[in-house]
Structure 1
Amino acid sequence: MTTGPTGSVSARQVDGRRSAWVLAAALLAVGIVVMTVALVAADGAPQRPPEGFVSAGMPASWAVPVLRFVADAAAIATGGALLAAVLLLSATDGTLGARALRACQDGAVAAGVWAVASIGGLITSAAVILGMPLAHLADHASAAGELAQVRALAVAVVLTAILAVVLSGCRTVRGARVALVLTAAALTGPLLTGHGAIERTGFWSVLATSSLVVHVFAATAWIGGLGGVLRYARDRHAVERFSKLALVCAIAMAVTGLLTGEIHLGSREDGWGLITQWVTSGYGALVFAKTVAFAVLVTVGWWHRRTTVRELAAGRPGAFRRLAVVELLIMAGTVGLAVALSRTP
């Protein structure tokens, strides 16, 4: 029995989907392991309450950062699929091509995962903040609704659910652009209740929060865009276009990362504050670890420009794929560090 061209294409698609799922599982595993180690090392891990005190329990407390990482990963996957559809893949008269349509369908699945993880994060966060078991949370729904973090997550749930619906029926570039705006809106809400919003007031709060929003947008575009290139558009034109975007994102992340770290470590009042805090605090140690990871990623990006893009243009995509996978694994670890950082005093 022979297999014709259609069968060969179908087999390649199945292999491609299987490889994508294996890579996604590996990225989740690496990110969660790095996040867990970072939380424990930086004293940001959940702690058992003193004897006699009621709490949400350790499983719920650990579920908060795990669900946060899953939501962040799904958001990055959604953004990457949309960037591929809007920026990296060609369209005819505003109509998405076959690969862009597949990207939108994948984005719809990722948005659904994002919504479910956000619902879980909303419930567990409310239980942890109020200090009560999950079984009793329904009796205190009004109190949970007063929490800024819960309200922000509720908005994210609504937006991501709408996003999943929009993407499932998306057929045009205009629709993909609308979905991209929804993605940005869903990303922004939870950031407004993070470190930058609650630890500073006035000008420094606005500056820290704005810097964080730009930082997250840049990280989403860089990581998600690389995943989009690897999954949907491994041709030289798309890679070169993404390379320019990645350079802008790297610069934005460097500037905003330094600014945010400086604000939180309090070096405005003391010129040596940043160096001291890097050495003496868990938060500073994680900032330093993220800085090292960022430097490694910049080096890998430089190597892409220097070597693998040329090999890709010469019809040898293997080196590009291998290095891109390694880069994504490092990025997953960096996202894990970022989640740990957001939960470290």
Structure 2
Amino acid sequence: MSEREVGAARPVLSKSWVIGAGMVAAGIVVMVVALLAAGGSPQPLPAGLLGAGMPLSWSVPVLRFVADAAAVVTGGAVVAVVLFLPATDGKLGATALRACQDAALAAGVWAVASIGGLVTSAAVILGIPLSHLAEHASPASELNQVRALAVAVVLTAFLAVVLSGCRTLRGARIAAVLTAAALTGPLLTGHGALDRTSAWSLLATSSLVVHVFAATAWIGGLGGVLRYARSRQAVELFSALALVCAVTMGITGLLTAEIHLGGRQEGWALITQWVTSGYGALVFAKAVAFAILVTVGWWHRRATLPELSTGNPAAFRRLAAVELLIMAATVGLAIALSRTP
């Protein structure tokens, strides 16, 4: 690589790190505020009772955010390789190989954060300090949430290995399947999976899985386009993907929230659940964020795509960076929602 190419690459790299740091900060701040406001934050135990402790309890949602953010980065890089970056005779080009290495690093972070989430979640659920967890390894292994996180750890670690050696389009497609599988496991132990015999529970869980897939493709795909493939063709392809993801997220998000808030309730009882509960307030906040993202997407199609076709990508980069920050805040809301009664 020449000195000119290195000099050109450095600003892009530094901007990516700045956007990434801003996304993490925005997401965690919004998540903490939402948990405190909606009643999903960890609560201190009465004096004299032994528990996991407040720092450990707060580390669970923070590690969950880090894992989710890493999953989005992984998924976005894989989406970019499979959909937006050209391959010659099935072999990946230089940019696609760089995307695979970025995805491998992100998958490694995902695995480490998942390990941390597994350990801290077990301690918090059992109500014991982290130093006593080894003494309760057997009961911890029986917890469905811990088992799901353990499976996710194995899958993400294997995914990191696959991506680090990925050189072909076929390997990238295998990585996409592994990413979907790693995303699915922890979702099977949330609100919607509390009663596996209920048709409403199965519907809520299925809807949540599709919702998360769409969110990962939308957020990660935008990051992938911004970092690896800012051509007019790639952006237009992503725009079509984003439209499908937005419609899917809107339908599944509304369906999941309605099931959790009301299920088969009707009339005033359902309206009361939406208006008065902390969960309902977070659903409303997430709906507002979703509406803002749809508006930004519409503005992309109306204003920045024509400018991109004239060879001026600056407007697209600026609006995409703002959109990614809003998306990170929405992920923070989603994690708070998953932890709010």
Secondary structure at 2:167 match in 1: coil
Could you tell me which runs of 5 or more consecutive residues in structure 2 were left unpaired when the two chains were aligned: none
Distance in structure 2 (CA, Å) of the matches to 1:20 and 1:323: 14
Q: Work out whether 1:42 is the aligned partner of 2:34.
A: no
Q: Work out whether 1:137 is the aligned partner of 2:141.
A: no
Distance in structure 2 (CA, Å) of the matches to 1:111 and 1:159: 9
Distance in structure 2 (CA, Å) of the matches to 1:195 and 1:103: 34
**Number of corresponding residues:** 341
Residue 23 of structure 2: which of 18, 23, 27 is its match?
A: 27
Q: Work out whether 1:87 is the aligned partner of 2:83.
A: yes
Distance in structure 2 (CA, Å) of the matches to 1:274 and 1:199: 20
Residue 331 of structure 1: which of 321, 327, 340 is its match?
A: 327
What code does the residue aligned with 2:70 have?
A: A
Secondary structure at 2:136 match in 1: helix
Paired position in structure 1 for 2:199: 203
What displacement does 1:100 show? Answer: 0.8
The question of whether the paired residues in 2 share the 8 Å contact of 1:71 and 1:117 is answered with yes
Secondary structure at 1:222 match in 2: helix
The question of whether the paired residues in 1 share the 8 Å contact of 2:200 and 2:263 is answered with no
The question of whether the paired residues in 2 share the 8 Å contact of 1:198 and 1:205 is answered with yes
Secondary structure at 1:111 match in 2: helix
What displacement does 1:200 show? Answer: 6.6
Secondary structure at 2:2 match in 1: helix
What displacement does 1:23 show? Answer: 1.2
Paired position in structure 2 for 1:239: 235
Report which stretch shifted further, 32-41 or 12-21. 12-21
The question of whether the paired residues in 2 share the 8 Å contact of 1:163 and 1:183 is answered with yes
Could you tell me which runs of 5 or more consecutive residues in structure 1 were left unpaired when the two chains were aligned: none
What displacement does 1:213 show? Answer: 0.2
Q: Work out whether 1:107 is the aligned partner of 2:98.
A: no
| Residues 199-278 of structure 1 aligned to structure 2 (within 5 Å) | 201-278=197-274
Distance in structure 1 (CA, Å) of the matches to 2:273 and 2:281: 8
What percentage of residue pairs aligned between the two structures are identical?
A: 75
RMSD: 1.0
TM-score (norm 1): 0.97
What code does the residue aligned with 1:156 have?
A: A
Residue 12 of structure 2: which of 16, 19, 25 is its match?
A: 16
Paired position in structure 2 for 1:308: 304
What displacement does 1:199 show? Answer: 5.3
Paired position in structure 2 for 1:96: 92
Instruction: Please list every run of at least 4 consecutive aligned residues from structure 1 whose deviation after the TM superposition is greater than 4 angstroms.
Output: none
Residues 273 and 105 from structure 1, CA distance in 2 versus in 1: closer, same or farther, beyond 3 angstroms? farther
The question of whether the paired residues in 2 share the 8 Å contact of 1:95 and 1:173 is answered with yes
Distance in structure 2 (CA, Å) of the matches to 1:145 and 1:319: 51
> What is the CA deviation profile of residues 59-95 of structure 1, one whole-angstrom value per residue up to 9, with x for unaligned ones?
1100000000000000000000000000011110000
Distance in structure 2 (CA, Å) of the matches to 1:113 and 1:203: 35
Distance in structure 2 (CA, Å) of the matches to 1:201 and 1:40: 32
Residues 283 and 201 from structure 1, CA distance in 2 versus in 1: closer, same or farther, beyond 3 angstroms? farther
TM-score (norm 2): 0.98
Distance in structure 2 (CA, Å) of the matches to 1:170 and 1:255: 35
Distance in structure 1 (CA, Å) of the matches to 2:212 and 2:267: 27
Q: Work out whether 1:295 is the aligned partner of 2:291.
A: yes
Distance in structure 2 (CA, Å) of the matches to 1:123 and 1:25: 25
Paired position in structure 2 for 1:173: 169
